[in-house]
Amino acid sequence: MKPLIKICGIKDLNILNQLIELEAIDFIGFIFFEKSPRNVSNDFLNKVNGVNLQNKRAVCVYVDATKEFIQQTSSNFEDPILQFHGNENNEFCKSFKKDFWKVIRVKDSSSINIAFDYPDASAILFENYTKGLYGGTGSVFDWNLLKDINKNDKKIIISGGINIENVDNAISINPWCIDINSGVEISPGVKDLDLIKQVLQKF
């Protein structure tokens, strides 16, 4: 089975509308973290409220955000998935009563075991550890570390620097989903539709 596909870091309405029309995409990610070049502006959020994502599901991305901020921003989407990048524990993540993905930043093989701290996560997303950076690093970790994971126990998402050059390797790991972000940008936070289409052709 081919992996599901998430395109993350969307903050442009024109790109969003074009992604909605692409059949191959399953999830569209919106980042709510001020330090990210892909942070969603209030103006964009007002425009996206009520947009029909059709058969795609929104993923709202947070890093140690307050409960109020998460509730307020995620309410702009119908049945969103919450993706937690920070030090949020399992109890906090599940308190919203929504599907959630927990991000594990992989330093080495011991990092993989952190996934067991989140029994209620509907999926675990693994990305490269870069000090002080949360997502969109453009760096790849050793995906072979994931080969020993029992994928029946948890849905696995891989992320970090996935682009046209290495997406075949990502697919070969046989994850449940592949998260694509900086690898389809012409500059930080600026998605390129042609790059997205080229990557999608690999699936």
- Using one digit for the tens of pLDDT, what is the confidence trace for 136-188? 555 566 777 776 666 657 899 999 889 999 899 889 888 999 999 999 999 99
- pLDDT tens-digit series, residues 76-129: 999 999 999 999 999 999 999 999 999 998 877 778 888 889 999 999 999 875
pLDDT at 163: 92
- Complete domains list, the chain, with CATH: 4-200 (3.20.20.70)
pLDDT at 152: 59
pLDDT at 161: 84
Report in angstroms the alpha-carbon separations of 110 from 105, 158, 160: 11, 17, 18
Pick from 195, 132, 189, 118: which is nearest to 162 by CA?
Answer: 195
pLDDT at 84: 98
pLDDT at 60: 98
pLDDT at 151: 60
pLDDT exceeds cutoff 80 at 73: yes
pLDDT at 143: 73
Pick from 32, 23, 30: which is nearest to 55 by CA?
Answer: 23
pLDDT at 145: 73
Mean residue pLDDT across the chain: 90
Pick from 103, 113, 197: which is nearest to 159 by CA?
Answer: 103
CA distance 124 to 100: 9
pLDDT exceeds cutoff 60 at 189: yes
- Residues contacting residue 196 through CB under 8 Å, at least 6 positions apart: 7, 19, 22, 180, 184
pLDDT exceeds cutoff 80 at 130: no
- pLDDT tens-digit series, residues 16-63: 999 999 999 999 999 999 999 999 999 999 999 889 999 999 999 999
182 burial level (CB within 10 Å; 0-12, 13-18, 19+): buried
Which strand (E) or helix (H) includes residue 170? Answer: helix 167-172
pLDDT at 139: 57
- Residues contacting residue 121 through CB under 8 Å, at least 6 positions apart: 90, 93, 100, 101, 102, 115, 154
- pLDDT tens-digit series, residues 30-42: 999 999 999 999 9
Pick from 109, 112, 122: which is nearest to 155 by CA?
Answer: 122
pLDDT at 62: 98
